Chain A
Amino acid sequence: MAIVSLALGLVSMMQLSVDLTDDELRAMLSLSPPESPTPRAKPTNKFADNPKAIELGEKLFFREGLAGEGTTQSCASCHNPDLGWADGIQFAKGDGVGTLNTPTVRNSAFSNFVFWDGRADSLWAQAAHPIESPIEMHGSRLGVLHTINDDVELKKLWVELFGELPKYLTSDIGALHAAPNEEFGEIWQGIKASEQLAINTAFVKTLKAIAAFERTVISKHSNFDLFVNGLRKNDIELIEKLSPQAQRGMQLFVGKANCINCHFGPLLSDGQFHNIGLEPYQDILPVVGRPDGIEKVRLDLFNGRNRFSDDTSWKANGQMLYMISNEHTVGALKTPSLRDVALTAPYMHDGRFATLEAVVQFYSLLPGFPGIGHREETLNRLLLSDDELAELVAFLKSLSSL
C-alpha cells in the first residue's frame, strides 16, 4: 500500500476506519477527483453554455403547458427539483402511464447517450420526445412554439436569443398542433416543406435552450467528497464526515463487491449499457434496451450528425459510426449515476425496488433469470452479510449533495 498511502500522508491514513489496499485507495480517489467534473463541451449545441439560453431554458423547463394548447405538464412535473429532479413514483405519470421509472435529469449532461436505452445522443434531441409523447406531455413541436409566441416573457427572451419565430404561427390557417407522428401527422403533412423546416429549426433552438439549462443541473460536493478531500489535505475534521460504517461500504464498493466495474469515475457511472439480469417483473414486457436505442438514435432527425446539429462534421459523435448491437447488448440499460441516488427512490428502470436496501440485496443474491438477454458475467453473487449490506447503503447515502 506504500505509494498511494504515502502520497496521502500517514496522518490521514491513521484516521481511516478501514485498511485499504493500494488499488482500493486508487479506486476511491478516482471517484472524487480534486477538480469537480463539468459536462464536456457539446459542439452539436452552440447555445450549450450561453447564459441567455440557460435563463430561457430554465423558464421553459418549468413552464406548465409547454407542449401547447390543451396540455398541462412541465418537464418539472416529472423532474421535480424537490424530488431529486425525478418524481418519486414507480411509473412516470403524464397524460398516460407507462412502465418506466423517471430517471433524474441531474448529471444527465455528462452522458453521451440519454434514456434508459440511450436512444438520444444529446439533451436537446432528448427533450423532443416527452413533448410529443402521448403518455407524457402529449403536445407537439408546433404547440411549443405557440406557447412561446403567446407568452410575453418567453417570447422576448426567445426572440432576443434566436431571432424571429416562424411566420406560420401567426397565419390565419395555422393549426395549434402539428408534428410528424401518428397523432398530428396529417396536419403536419399539410404544411409546406419550407414552413416545416422553419418550425423544426425554431423547435430545435428551443430544445437547445432547455438542454443549456439542464447542463447546469449537476451534483455538488457530498460527505464522501469532503472525506476524500480531508484525506488529501490531512484534515481530520473532514475525514470524520464519512462514518466508519460508510467507509466500510466504500471499501466494499471499490473492492469485494466490485460495483466500480460499471459505476466508476466521479459520477459513479460509466455511461454505458449493461444487462444486470433483473427477473421478469409483473406482466410487463422486458425492455430490449440498447439494440433498440442504437437503431433509433441512428435514425433520429435530431441526432448529432444530422442537419439540425451545429456540428455535422464527420467527427461529431464519433461513437455513433462504430457502435454495434449483439446478443450481449440485449436487455442492456444505462448505468445510472449514483450521485444523489438516495433522493431518487424507487430504483431501476421499472422502479421495482423501493429502497437502496432492496437494491443491494438484489446485487448480493442475483435472484432468478433475466427477463431478456443474459446477465453480464461480470456480476457474481456476493452473498453479503447484513452488516455489509447496511455498509454499502450507508456509502450510497453519503453521495448526496450538501
Chain B
Amino acid sequence: MRIKTLLLIVFGALASCQSPLPLLHFPSGQAPLNEIFSFEVELVDGPAESVSVDADMPAHGHGMITAPVVIKIDETHYRVDGMMLHMPGYWEIYVEVSRNGQSERFMVPLTLEAWQ
C-alpha cells in the first residue's frame, strides 16, 4: 500500500483528533522492510516543543528492535534516524507531538510484504 493512501485512511480514522496528522516523508516514498532507514516528519500546523517516534506490530505484541532518534531540522521538520521495521506484516508508526505541555499521539498504519 502506498503511504499517501494510508495517510488518507488515517486522516479519516483520526478525524476526531484536534490537530491535523503530521506528514511522514519516506526516502523512496515507502518504508523499506528489514533495513535501517531515516524519514522526515513534517508538522503541518506549526512548531512543537518536541517530537518522538515509535512503532509496533500490535498483532505480534512486539515493537521495533531499534530505538530511533529524532533530530530537529527546523521549526516544523524533524528527521528520524535508526528506524527499522524488521518483519513483514501490519505495523503502526506512532508520532508523539508535544505542544504547550500537552502531547498528542498520532498513528500511521502500514503493511509491509515479504516480497516488497
Contacts and interface: CB of A to CB of B under 8 A. Distances in A.
A261 B36 contact: no
Contacts of A273: 65
B46 interface: no
B87 A378 contact: yes
A29 interface: yes
A378 to B, nearest CB: 5
Given A26-B115, A27-B114, A261-B114, A322 B66 contact: yes
Contact of A322 (B59, B67, B88, B113): B67
Given A26-B115, A260-B114, A264-B114, A319 B66 contact: yes
Interface residues of A, number: 27
A262 interface: yes
Contacts of B87: 261-262, 270, 272, 378
B34 A27 contact: no
A324 B65 contact: yes
A30 B66 contact: no
A382 B29 CA distance: 36
Contact of A319 (B59, B63, B84, B89): B84
A261 B65 CA distance: 16
Interface string A313-356: 00000110111101011000000000000000000000000000
Interface string A265-291: 100001111000000000000000000
Contacts of A23: 113
Contacts of B89: 261, 378
B30 to A, nearest CB: 15
Nearest to A263: B114
A376 interface: yes
Nearest to A272: B86
Contacts of A318: 36, 82
A260 B67 CA distance: 25
A144 to B, nearest CB: 33
B115 A322 contact: no
A237 interface: no
B: contact size bracket: 20 to 34
B36 A319 contact: yes
Nearest to B60: A377
A302 B51 CA distance: 35
A313 to B, nearest CB: 15
A253 to B, nearest CB: 11
Contacts of B64: 324
B73 interface: no
A376 B65 contact: no
Contacts of A323: 65-67
A271 B34 CA distance: 9
Contacts of B59: 377
A378 B60 contact: yes
A263 to B, nearest CB: 9
Contacts of B62: 328, 376-377
Interface of A: 23, 26-27, 29-30, 254, 260-262, 264-265, 270-273, 318-319, 321-324, 326, 328-329, 376-378
**Shortest 9 CB-CB distances between A and B: which pairs?**
A322-B82, A30-B115, A322-B66, A264-B114, A328-B62, A26-B115, A377-B60, A377-B61, A260-B114
